[in-house]
Amino acid sequence: MFAPRLLPRLATSSVRSPLASTSSSLLASRRGFASSRTALASSLLYLEHREGELNAASLVALTAAKKIGGDIHAIVAGDEGVKEVADKASKCEGLSKVFTTSSPSYRGLLSEPLAPVIKALAEKGSYTHIFAGHTAAGRDIFPRLAALLDSSQVSDIIAVESEDTFQRPIYAGNAIATVKSNDKIKVITVRGTAFDKASEEGGSASVEEVGSDAAETPTKFIEDKLSKSDRPDLATASRVVSGGRAIKSAENFVKYIEPLADSMKAAVGASRAAVDAGYADNALQVGQTGKIIAPELYVAVGISGAIQHLAGMKDSKTIVAINKDADAPIFQVADVGLVADLYEAVPELIEKLK
Amino acid sequence: MHGTLATMMRPTPISSALRILVPVKRTIDYAVKIRVASDGKGVDTNVKHAMNPFDEIAVEEAVRLREKHKEAVSKITAVSAGPAKSADVLRTALAMGADDAIHVEIPDNSLGGPLEPLAVSKILQAVIKKAGEEEEVGLVIMGKQAIDDDASQTGQMLAARLDWPQATFASKLEFLGKLEKGEEVQITREVDGGLGIVKTTLPFVMTTDLRLNEPRYASLPNIMKAKKKPFKKYSLKDLGLEEDAKPRLEVLKVAEPPKREGGAKVEDVDALVGKLKELGRI
C-alpha cells in the first residue's frame, strides 16, 4: 500500500485508498486522478490515421488518456485529406480540441518531421502527458519525441494506476512492472489491446489549424508496400486463426489456414516460425516481436506455443489449440485443446462450420 | 621500388571510410523462463544471459557490410553499457567480426534502479563523441528492442540526440552510392500492415528487425582471436554522465501476470465445435 504515501494528495483508482472515503476525492476520482488541489493534468494525443481512417490503437490510447483526467487535445498530421480526418477526430468522445497540420513531409509517418512538431505543440500547450498507440509509427516517433523533451518514455502501458503510475509488461509479458514517472512531461505509448477503443461519436472538439514549418530532413518517404486483404485487420479482429511451423509450406497455409479463417470470418495470423520459414507474410506475425492481439477467439493451428508467441496472444478471451503434440506448451494456455493432425482436423472443422 | 614506395606513402583515406558503431546489450537468454524475484522489485537474474537477439542481427549486418564493401568500412566498434559481465557480449561481438570494443562499466545497483533507454542514448552519444577523437562514427546499427525491458526506444533517442535520421525496424539495407557521409541509402522497414521504404543519407541510426539477416555463430578460432582485439573501458565519470544516467522512472513493483488456466482437451472436431458454440464464440 505505497500508493497513498506516494500520492498523498491524489485519489487513486484503488477503492482501498483511504482518501476515497472523502467526498472531494470521490469527485476527483470520478473525473480522473486530478483533483483541485494539484495542478490539472492535460494530455496531448498523437492521433494516427491511414487512408482517412483513425487508427484503432490511437483510440485505445485516448481511453488511457481519459483515465488521467483533464483536457485531452489531439494532433492530426498528414498530407492531403488531413482536414477530413481532423473533422472525424473532432467527433471522438473525450477530445476537446484537435490540432491539424499539413505537409507533404508528413507522408509515411516519418519521425524526423513529426517529433519536432509534436514537441513544439507539447511545450506551447504545457501538457503533462503525451500519448500515442504503441504501433510501428508510435514506436518510431515517440522515443525521438521523448529524447527531444528529455523525458524517459513509458512504453506499451497496459494500465493507468494514477496520473504518474502505470503498468507495463516486461520480458515478453512474463512480468508486469508498475512504474512511476517523475518527468515533467510524461511520454507514453499504449498497448492497443489494453483498453477499449474510445467512441468515434458523441464528441464535439474544436479544430485548430497549426502552421507547418516542417524542416527539410534527409529522410524521404518512398512508398509503403502494404499487404492487401479482404479479411478483417489482424490487430483489431474479434477472431483470429493462426498457423505455425507445422503448416510446412506457403501452399498449405493458403490451403488450410486461410479457408479456416474465412469460415470463421476471422483474420489470419502466423507464428514467427511460420513467417521466418516464408509460409506467411511478415505483417501477419503474432508475438513479442510482431503484433500483440487480444481477440475474442484465437485459434492456434500447428503452433507449439513458444514464450515469444504467447506474449502476442495470451490475453485472448478464448484460445483454441489444434496440435499433434499433446505436450506442446500451447495446451497450457488453451481453453479448448484438440490433439490431432491438422491436415485431417482442419478440413473437417471447415466442413462442420459451413 | 618506386611503385611500392608510392603505395606506402599514399595517405589512408580514413575520412571517407565508414566506421560503424554497434551497441549490444547483455540480457537474460531468450529461452529462459523468467521468474519474478521474491522482493517484488525485479526478476531473478541468476540465470543464463546472452547477447540480445536483435543486437546479434545488428553485429551481423555490420560484418556483412564490410564483407561486401571491404575498403569502404574502416572499423566496426561494439559498445555495451552495464556491469562487468557485459564484457561477455562484447567478446561475442568481437568474435563475430567487430574490430574493437568499448565497455562503459556501470556496477550493479550503482544507479539506484535500472539503466533506462534515455540514459543509454546519452551514454552512446558520449561514446560516439569520444570515439570520434580517434575516428568518426558514420553509422550506428542496433537492435530494435531489448527482450528484457521491451522498451524499443534507445535507437530513436540516440538519433534524436545526435540530430541524425533514423531508420527503425529495418529488414533490408541497400547502399545506393558509396559508403560515405552524405551518400544515399534505401531502407525497407517493417511497418503495420506490411513494408515501408525510405531513403536517407549517412550518418544515421538504424535499428534491426528480425528479418534483416541470420546471425552467424562465432567459431572457436575467432573466439580465441577476439581475446586479442582492442578493448576499452570507460566509467560514467569518464563520460561526465554520473548524474544523467540515473533512472527517471521508479519501479514500484514487478509482479507475475495473471495466470491463465488451460482448459480441458476435447476428443474430436465435433466436440470442439460444440464447445465453441457453448462458449458463444462461433
Residue A304 phi/psi, 5° resolution?
-75, -35
Q: Per-residue pLDDT averaged across A145-150, rounded?
A: 98
- Report if residue B53 sits inside a domain: yes
B270 to chain A, minimum CA–CA distance in Å?
8
pLDDT above 80 for A72: yes
Domain positions in chain A: 10-209, 239-353
Q: Which residues of A35-48 are buried (b: 16+ CB within 10 A; e: fewer)?
A: beeeeebbbbbbbb
Q: How far, in Å, CA of B176 to CA of A58, rounded?
A: 36
Taking the Cβ of residue B279 and every Cβ of chain A, the question of whether any pair is shorter than 8 Å is answered with yes
> At what angle are helices A136-148 and B117-132 packed, to 10 degrees?
70
Q: Do residues B85 and B115 touch, judged by C-beta distance below 8 A?
A: no
Per-residue confidence (pLDDT) for residue B13, from 0 to 100: 44
Candidate from A108, A111, A289 with C-beta closest to B166: A111
A245: annotated binding-site residue?
A: yes
CA A182 to chain centre: 24
The predicted-structure confidence for A109-124, as pLDDT tens digits, reads as follows 999 999 999 999 999 9
Question: Looking at beta carbons, which residues of chain A come within 8 Å of B153?
Answer: 143, 146, 153, 155
**Which helix H or strand E contains A42, and what residues bound it?**
strand A42-46
The verdict on a CB contact (< 8 Å) between A349 and B264 is no
Residues A295-336: tens digit of each pLDDT: 999 999 999 999 999 999 999 999 999 999 999 999 999 999
pLDDT for the residue numbered A33: 57
The count of domains in chain B is: 1
Paired sense of beta strands B139-143 and B204-208, if any: parallel
ipTM of the complex: 0.93
More confident residue, B149 or A3: B149
Write down the pLDDT at residue B6.
46
What CATH number does residue B172 fall under?
3.40.50.620
Asked if pLDDT for residue A2 goes beyond 50, the answer is no
**pTM for this predicted structure:** 0.90
Distance, CA of A195 to chain centre: 9
Per-residue pLDDT tens digits for B231-267 = 999 999 999 999 999 999 999 999 999 888 878 899 9
Calculate the CA dihedral of residues B166, B170, B176, B178 and round it to 10 degrees.
70
**Minimal CA separation from B50 to chain A, in Å:** 14
Q: What is the CATH number of domain A10-209?
A: 3.40.50.620
Nearest CA in chain A to B182: A218
Q: Which residues pair with A208 in a beta bridge?
A: A99
A285 is in an annotated binding site: yes
* CA A39 to chain CA mean position, Å: 28
Which of B156, B199, B273 has the CB atom closest to A111's CB atom? Answer: B156
CB-based contact A171 B199, cutoff 8 Å = no
What's CA B60's distance to the chain center, in Å?
Answer: 11
* Partners of residue B189 in chain A, C-beta under 8 Å: 136
Q: B34: pLDDT confidence band, cut at 50, 70 and 90?
A: very high
Q: Which tens digits make up the pLDDT trace of A165-216? A: 999 999 999 999 999 999 999 999 999 999 999 999 999 999 999 987 777 8
Cβ separation A218–B165 shorter than 8 A:
yes
Angle subtended at Cα B166 by Cα B164 and Cα B172, rounded to the nearest 5 degrees? 135
Alpha helices per DSSP H over chain A:
3-6, 23-31, 56-66, 82-90, 111-124, 136-148, 250-252, 258-263, 272-276, 307-313, 342-353
**Residue A19 pLDDT:** 38
Give residue-wise pLDDT tens across range A6-45. Answer: 333 333 333 333 333 334 444 444 445 544 435 689 999 9
* A239-353 and A10-209 share a CATH fold: yes
> Best of A170, A276, A339 to disrupt the B interface by mutation (most B CBs within 10 Å)?
A170
Cell of A231: 479479411
Question: Which are the contacts of B256, defined by CB distance < 8 A and separation ≥ 6?
Answer: A174, A175, A176, B36
Q: Which is more confidently placed, A28 or B105?
A: B105
* Domain contains B9: no
Instruction: Note whether residue B83 is domain-resident.
Output: yes
DSSP 8-state assignment for residue B1: -
Average pLDDT, integer, range B210-218? 94
Cβ atoms B104, B127 nearer than 8 A? yes
Examine residue B3 and state whether it is found in any structural domain, yes or no: no
> If you search the block for the grid coordinates 550518418, which residue do you land on?
B203
Instruction: Compute CA distances A54 → A25, A180, A200, whole Å.
Output: 35, 30, 9
End-to-end CA distance of chain B: 85
Measured distance CA(B116)–CA(B281) in Å, rounded: 42
Give A40 to chain B, closest Cα distance, Å.
Answer: 21
Phi, psi (rounded to 5 degrees) for A181: -95, 130
CA nearest A309: which of A172, A166, A111?
A172
The rounded mean pLDDT for chain A is 89
Whether B263 contacts chain A with CB within 8 A: yes
**Chain B positions in Cβ-Cβ contact with residue A272 (cut-off 8 Å):** 210
The whole-number average pLDDT for the span A272-278 is 95
Tell which residue, B17, B42, B10, B46, has the closest CA to residue B29. Answer: B46
Q: Does the structure show a pLDDT above 90 at B19?
A: yes
Residue B12 domain-assigned (yes or no):
no
Q: Among the residues of A135-278, which ranges form H helices?
A: 136-148, 250-252, 258-263, 272-276
The Cα of A353 is separated from the nearest Cα of chain B by a number of Å equal to 8
Q: Is A153 annotated as a binding residue?
A: no
Kindly state whether B33 is in contact with chain A, defined as any CB-CB distance less than 8 angstroms.
yes
pLDDT digits (tens, 9 = 90+) for B126-174: 999 999 999 999 999 999 999 999 999 999 999 999 999 999 999 999 9
- B238 Cβ contact partners less than 8 Å away, ≥ 6 residues apart: none
B104 pLDDT higher than 70: yes
- pLDDT score, position B15: 53
- pLDDT (0 to 100) of residue A216: 81
Instruction: Provide the residue range defining the domain that includes B87.
Output: 18-278
What three-state secondary structure class fits B18?
strand
Per-residue pLDDT, A25? 41
A304 annotated to bind ligand: yes
- CA distances from residue A4 to A19, A134, A293, B138 in whole angstroms, order as listed: 8, 29, 33, 49
Q: Is the dihedral of CA B225, B229, B235, B241 positive or negative?
A: negative
Find the closest chain B residue to A264 by CA distance: B282
Determine, yes or no, domain membership for B8. no
- In CATH, the number for domain A239-353 is 3.40.50.1220
From the number of C-beta atoms within 10 Å of its C-beta (0-12, 13-18, 19+), residue B182 rates as exposed
